[in-house]
Structure formats: C-alpha cells, structure tokens
C-alpha cells in the first residue's frame, strides 16, 4: 500500500494517519506456523521540524512453535513502529526508508520493522521445562521416570551424599 506524503513534505508539524494490513507472504519464520489474521498496523507519518517520521503500532496474532518443547502456542506480538523517511538514502542506512514519487511503500516499511523486531527465542511460556533429553517426554505435563541425575545440580548433590 502506497501512502502519499506530498502534502506534508514541506509542512513542519503536518501529519498523515495510516491504518493498514500487512501482507504475510514472504514473512516466513521457522517458529511461526501461521498468522491467525493479517498483522494490522495503525500510526501516522509526521513532519518533525523538516524530518519525516513514521510512528505507530503493528499487531500480529501468531501461532508459534516453542523452541524448547515443540508445542504450538498462540501469541500476540506488538511491534512499535519508528522509522525515518528520507528523500535520498545516500549512506544506505538500513533504518532509513526512501520516498519514491513523494510516497512510501507501507508494506515494505512495516515488514522490515516486523522482521527486525522478531524474537530470537520462541517459548510457550517463560519457564517452559522443555523435553527430557533422555526419554523425550514433555516435562510441562509432569516429571518423567528418568533418573534425576540428569540435572547437574542433583549430580553434585549425589556425589556429596556418596561420600
Ligand atoms: Zn514450551
Ligand atoms: Zn525422561
């Protein structure tokens, strides 16, 4: 979706609101199984003393795969949008986006910001216990029958008790 900024380019204080949905084609991550709905963004571009700034919020409802236990979980990801728009990106700064015919390509900017903000770890919950390295049981569902010596803290304890 193109957003034409012509009317605020020369107008400090001017602003243009936007509201759009993001295309998810190409936004593939191994831990994202699906997008529940198209990610939705709301915000504005404003002329801050001669500099065009895009700000807003992008919300995505995701079905993810947990890195530790492999279970699916749902998550709502919010990305704060903050980008600078320039007429010419001479230094090819990746944080700057360029105007083309006085317009910006919202989809391109939003998907770039979304990718940059992507988590490096996907966990179904912060204290996900993961799978037992021995028997593969999902330890969130309860302990397995393997020896507790798997845990190095218990191994140390056992050594102390053996003496
Ligand atoms: Zn998990
Ligand atoms: Zn086990």
For Cα atoms 33, 122, 19, give the angle at the middle one, nearest 5 degrees: 65
Nearest CA-CA partner of 98 in 9, 23, 12, 21 = 9
pLDDT, one tens digit per residue, over 22-77 is 999 889 999 999 999 999 999 999 999 999 999 999 999 999 999 999 999 999 99
The Cα 138–Cα 135 span in angstroms is: 9
Distance (angstroms) between ligand 1 centre and the Cα of 40 equals 26
Nearest CA-CA partner of 117 in 143, 80, 148 = 80
Residue-level pLDDT at 146? 86
Distance (angstroms) between ligand 2 centre and the Cα of 121 equals 24
For Cα atoms 94, 114, 7, give the angle at the middle one, nearest 5 degrees: 70
User: What burial class does residue 156 get, using C-beta atoms within 10 Å of its C-beta: 0-12 exposed, 13-18 middle, 19+ buried?
Assistant: exposed
Distance (angstroms) between ligand 2 centre and the Cα of 70 equals 16
User: What burial class does residue 126 get, using C-beta atoms within 10 Å of its C-beta: 0-12 exposed, 13-18 middle, 19+ buried?
Assistant: exposed
pLDDT for residue 93 is more than 60: yes
Task: pLDDT band for 149, please (50, 70, 90 cuts).
Answer: low
CB within 8 A of 90, min separation 6: which ones?
Answer: none
Instruction: Report which bound ligand comes closest to the CA of 145.
Output: 2
């Amino acid at each position: 979706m193109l957003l034409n900024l012509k009317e605020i380019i020369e107008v400090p204080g001017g602003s243009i609101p936007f509201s759009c949905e993001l295309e998810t084609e190409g936004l593939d991550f191994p831990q994202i199984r699906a997008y529940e709905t198209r990610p939705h963004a709301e915000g504005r571009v404003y002329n801050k003393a001669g500099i065009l700034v895009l700000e807003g919020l992008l919300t995505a409802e995701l079905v993810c795969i947990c890195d530790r236990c492999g279970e699916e979980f749902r998550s709502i990801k919010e990305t704060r949008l903050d980008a600078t728009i320039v007429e010419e990106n001479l230094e090819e700064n990746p944080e700057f986006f360029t105007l083309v015919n006085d317009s910006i390509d919202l989809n391109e900017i939003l998907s770039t910001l979304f990718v940059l903000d992507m988590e490096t770890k996907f966990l179904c919950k912060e204290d996900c216990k993961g799978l037992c390295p021995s028997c593969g049981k999902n330890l969130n569902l309860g302990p397995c029958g393997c020896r507790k010596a798997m845990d190095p803290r218990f191994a140390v304890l056992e050594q102390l008790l053996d003496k």
